[in-house]
A = this chain, B = another copy of it.
Amino acid sequence: MSADERWFPSHLGEMTEEECLEQLATNQVGRVSYCDQAGPVVLPVNYRWEQGSVLFRTSPDSLLAKYMDSEHASFQIDEYDVYNQSGWSVLVRGAASHVGDAELPDDELPMAWAEGARTLRIRIIPHEVSGRWLLPG
C-alpha cells in the first residue's frame, strides 16, 4: 500500500511532557543538532537520558565538540511505521556543555558505539521538550 492509495490520513497530536520524557528515557539513539554559518547540522549519536538531560560522548577534536558548547543546541528522537504511516517524535531544545570528570560519574554516560577516543562528555540541558504523535487514520 503506498501513500497515494490510502483513504484516511493519519492524525497528529501533541505528546504530553510525561510521554516525551518516557521516550527519552527508553531510547538509545537520537540526533544532535547545531547551527553553523551554513545552517543546521544533524548527526546521530547514542545517548543516555539521565538527571533530566541528554548525555553522550564524542571526540575532543570533532566539530561536535566545538559546537556543543552553546545555548542553542537540539536533540531529537523519533520512530515511525511506514506501513501504518504513523509514529512519534520528540524534540529537546536546550543548552549544550562539556562535562568535567568531577561533575558526573563516568558510568552515568553510555559508551560511544563508534571507535576512536571519545573522551569528551557532552550534556544537553533542556529549555523546552515537545513531541507529537502521528496515529494511524
- Residues of A bordering B, CB below 8 Å: 3-4, 6, 9-12, 28-29, 31, 33-35, 38-44, 46, 70-74, 76, 78, 80, 82, 85-87, 89, 91, 93, 110-116, 127, 134, 137
* Number of copies of this protein chain within its complex: 2
B73–A39 CB distance below 8 A: yes
**Does the CB pair B28–A35 fall under 8 Å?**
no
| Cα–Cα, bound, A97→B6 (Å) | 27
Question: Cβ of B115 and Cβ of A10 under 8 Å apart?
Answer: yes
Contact A39 B31 (CB under 8 A): no
Please report the C-alpha to C-alpha distance between residue A89 and residue B43 in the assembled complex, in whole angstroms: 8
A89 adjacent to B44 (CB under 8 Å): yes
The verdict on A115 contacting B12 (CB below 8 Å), with A40-B34, A89-B44, A91-B43 known, is: yes
- In the bound complex, what is the Cα–Cα distance between A80 and B86 (angstroms)? 19
CA distance A3 to B47 in the complex (A): 11
Considering the chains assembled together, what is the distance between the CA atoms of A9 and B4 in angstroms? 42
Across the interface, do A46 and B115 meet the contact criterion of CB distance under 8 Å? no
Question: What is the CA–CA distance of A39 and B94 in the complex, to the nearest angstrom?
Answer: 9
